[in-house]
Chain A
Amino acid sequence: MDTAPASPARPRLRAAWAVPVTAVVAVAAAFAAPPLLASADSAGLPEVSAAELLDRVAAAEPQALSGTVVHTARLGLPELSLTQATGADPVSLLSGSTTLRVWTDGESRSRVSLLGTASEYSVVTDATQAWTYSSSDDEVVHYALSPQDAARAQDLAATATPPADLPSPDELGREALARAEKDATVGVDAVTTVAGRDAYQVVVTPRSTTTLVGRVVVAVDAATWTPLRVQVWSNDDAATPALEVGFTDVTFADPGEAVLTFSAPPGAEVREVTVPLPDAAAHAAAADAAQGLPADPGAMTAPEGVTVSGSGWDTVVEFTDVDVAALLTGDPSALGDDPRAHGPIGGEGAQALAEDFMPEGDGPGVELDAGALYDQLTTPVEGGRALTSTLLSVLVLDDGRVLVGAVPVDALRAAADA
C-alpha cells in the first residue's frame, strides 16, 4: 500500500508517453538506417587507372541483368505541369525523377519500362524488332525491318538499333566511355557505391570550352565492369548533376523468358512501323561505334535532310524541312523518317541527350499536350523559337530548320547563319 499521499498517476503518465516517443525514434531509425549503412566504405578495391578502366569496360561482356533505374533530370526547363496527368510517358524524362525497370539478357533482348503512377511505358527489344506499349492509351507500336532488310541483317549478323529506346545506365555508360578519349580528358574519381555495389568512377571532361557539358561521370561496377550510373554535369551547376541515370537496385542474372518476350494484348491497336536498315556505310560507322572505336561524325554519311557541323562536344545537328506544326499535331512523318534522327550523331553526351530529347514521333502523350508543352518549353527568339537547358539547346527556325547541340543557343545561331 502506498504510504505517500501523492498519486502514482503522475509518473505513470510520463512512462506512458515515453512509449510513443520511443516508437517515433525507432521508426525514424528503421527508415533512416539502411541508406546510412548502405554507404559503407568501398575501401579495399585495387586502384585502377583511367585507361585501364576504359579498357575493362570496353572488353567486358554486356551482362544479363535486371534492375531499377532512376533517371533524374535537372535541366532547368520550365516546370512541366502536364506530365503529372499523362501517366507513364517518355516526356517525363525531361524533368524531375523517373523510375524505370530494366531487364536484359546481355545480348540482343531487353525490356525497359518507364513507370508512372498506375501506368507504364514499355520498350521490348528483340534483335531485329521492337515493341513499345503504353498502358495509358493501350497502344502498341511494332518496329520491324522489312523482310529484305531482315535477311540482310541476318547476313551481317548485326542488330538493327530499334528506334524506340529508353535510357539505361549500362548502355549509356558504355556508349559514353566508348568514345571518351575523343575530344575529352579522362580521369578517375573516388570509389563509390551504386545500388549497393562498389563502383569505380570515370570522369570525362570535354576539352571544348563552348559546350554546355561540364563533365560526364560514369560509375562502373567493380566486379562486372558494367556502368551503373551516368552523371552529366553542366557548366552551370557544380552542386548537382544536370542529368543522372543510375541503378538503385541491380541483379546480375538472366531475367528469364517471360519478361523478354512481348505479344500484343488482345484488342490493342497495333501500329506497324517498318524500319529501313541503314546503308552499308552508316552501318559500318555504327558498328565501329559499337565496338568502341572513335567515330568521326564528319566521315559519316549523314542522312538526307540532316547536316552535321562542328565536331566532338561542339557538334551541331541541323535538320531541314521539319514541319513543327505537323509534329505537334502528332504526325510522325513530319520529322522526315524519324528513325534516321537516331543515327549515331554528335558527341556521346550529345547523342544520349538527343535521344532523350528527340520527339518520339509516336510518343503516346504527344498528341494530347505537345502544343502546350512546346510553348512551355521554348522561348521566342528572332526568327523562331529556342529551347535552352543546362545541357542542350534547340533552335527551331521559322524556315523549317531545327538545330540541336550541347552548346549555347548563340552557337546554334552561328551554325545556322554559317
Chain B
Amino acid sequence: MTTPAGATATAAAPASAPAVPQAGAVGDDAIRTHGLTKRFRTGQVAVDRVDLHVPRGAVYGFLGPNGSGKTTTIRMLLGLVAPTAGEVHLLGSPMPREAGRVLPRVGALVEGPAFQPYLSGRANLARLDAVDASTDPRTARARSDAALDRVGLGAAADKRYRQYSLGMKQRLGLAAALLRPRDLLVLDEPTNGLDPQGTREVRHLVRELADAGTTVLVSSHLLAEIEQVCTHVGIMGGGRLLLQGPRADLTARRAAHVMVRTAPADVDAAVVELRRLGLADVTVEQGVVDGGVTVVASDAADDGRDRPAPQDVAAALVRAGVGLLAFDVRRPSLEQVFVELTGEGFDVAR
C-alpha cells in the first residue's frame, strides 16, 4: 500500500518522538512505543515502526480495519509477542522486562474474551485472581463479585462459561480486566458481540473509568462505537500508525468544507471574496436550486497560513455585499479522515 499524502499529518503529530526518548517524556505517558516493529517468521511485517503515544488519563481510540496490526501491537504492549525491533514503555516502565511490576496495574481484553468453558464465570475469575501473586487471597471472593456486578453478570456468575451468550462472554472479559483497580486498561474490540444496549454500557463504563483517572486504550474497527468517548485517536493501516493525536486536533487540523448559498447575482462577489480570504478550491456548483447557487470551498490546511475562522468568513462575505442564503462550515468526521488516509473504509477486511 502506498503511503497516502495525508500521512504527512503524522509528522506534525506529537507521536514522532525523538530518536532517543527522554526519560521524563516516557514517564508522562501511560503507553509509549518507539519504533515498534513485528516481522513474523513468514516475513510478513505486521507492525511497522509504530510510535504510540498515549498520555495518562486519555481515552485513546485505537482504530484501524481488521488486519491493520492493532492486535499485534496490543500483544506487544502486553509482552505476549516479542517485538522484532523497538521498545515499549507501559506506565513508565519498560516491557516486557518489568511485566511483573507493571501488568498488575493493567487490565486487558485481548482479541475477545477467553475462559475455561467448563468453569463458571466466577470460578474463571477466581482462577485469574489466584494467578495474580500481588492480590490478597482473603478478598478474592469480594473482588470477583464486585467485578461481576460491575459488568452486570452477578446473576449469571455460577453458570458455566460454555452456556454464556456472546455478550455475556464479552462482559466476563471486561470483568476480568476490572478484577482489581487498574491504572491502564487495554480493551481490544470490547464491543464485539454486544447488542446496542451493551455497546452503550461499555461506552458508559469506559467513560466512568476515565473519569476516575484510568487511562484507557480501546481498539475497534467500528469507529462510531468509540468515537464519542475518545479523547485521543490513533489510526492504524497496513501495519503503520497513520495518524494520532487529540481527537479535536485531528479533525480541526483537517481542511474544512465551506458552503455558501447565495443569490445568482452575488455569486461572483462571493467567489472573489472567498479567494481573497485564502480559501482554496473555490467552485461554483451548477444550477439554481430554490433560487440560490451553492459555492463551495476548502479552508486549505497545512499551507502555513492562518485559517480564517468561520465567523470571520461570514462577516467578510456580508461586508462584501454577498447576500447569504445559507452558510455552513463542516469539519470532516474521523471516518472521512480515515478514508482519506487509507483509501479504505472501516470494516474492510484486508
Contact = CB atoms under 8 A, between A and B. Distances in A.
A and B assemble together? yes
Interface of A: 1-3, 5-9, 13
Contacts of B34: 5
Most chain B CB within a 10 A radius of its CB, from A1, A2, A5: A5
Contacts of B82: 7, 9, 13
B86 A5 contact: yes
Contacts of A13: 82
Contacts of B84: 7, 9
A8 B94 CA distance: 11
A198 B186 CA distance: 72
Interface string B10-47: 00000000011101001000000011000000000000
Contact of B20 (A3, A6, A8, A9): A3
Of listed A7, A9, A13, residue having the most chain B CB within 10 A:
A7
Interface centre among B19, B23, B83 (most CB of A within 10 A): B83
Given A2-B87, A7-B86, 6 more contacts: A1-B21, A2-B94, A5-B34, A7-B83, A7-B84, A9-B82
B52 to A, nearest CB: 14
B interface, size bucket: 10 to 19
Nearest to A3: B20
A272 B19 CA distance: 96
B85 interface: yes
A13 B81 CA distance: 13
B46 to A, nearest CB: 14
A6 B94 contact: no
9 contacts: A1-B23, A5-B19, A5-B85, A5-B86, A5-B87, A7-B83, A8-B97, A9-B83, A13-B82
Contacts of A2: 87, 94
Contacts of A7: 82-87
Nearest to A12: B82
Q: Is the interface of A mostly helix, strand, loop or mixed?
A: loop
Interface string B85-109: 1110000001001000000000000
Contacts of B97: 8
A13 B94 CA distance: 18
Contacts of A9: 82-84
A184 to B, nearest CB: 70
Nearest to B93: A1
A1 B35 contact: no
A18 B294 CA distance: 73
A417 to B, nearest CB: 78
B187 to A, nearest CB: 25
A5 B35 contact: yes
Contacts of A1: 21, 23, 26, 94
A378 B83 CA distance: 71
A2 to B, nearest CB: 6
A1 B26 CA distance: 11
Nearest to A5: B35
A13 B84 CA distance: 11
Contacts of A3: 20
Contacts of A6: 85
A6 B35 CA distance: 9
Contacts of B21: 1
B72 to A, nearest CB: 14
Nearest to A13: B82
Nearest to B20: A3
A87 B97 CA distance: 58
A245 B268 CA distance: 119
A7 B47 CA distance: 14
A6 B19 CA distance: 12
Contacts of A5: 19, 34-35, 85-87
A110 B107 CA distance: 74
The 7 closest A-B CB pairs, nearest first, are A9-B82, A5-B35, A7-B83, A7-B85, A6-B85, A5-B86, A3-B20
B311 to A, nearest CB: 47
Interface in B66-87: 82-87
Nearest to B94: A1
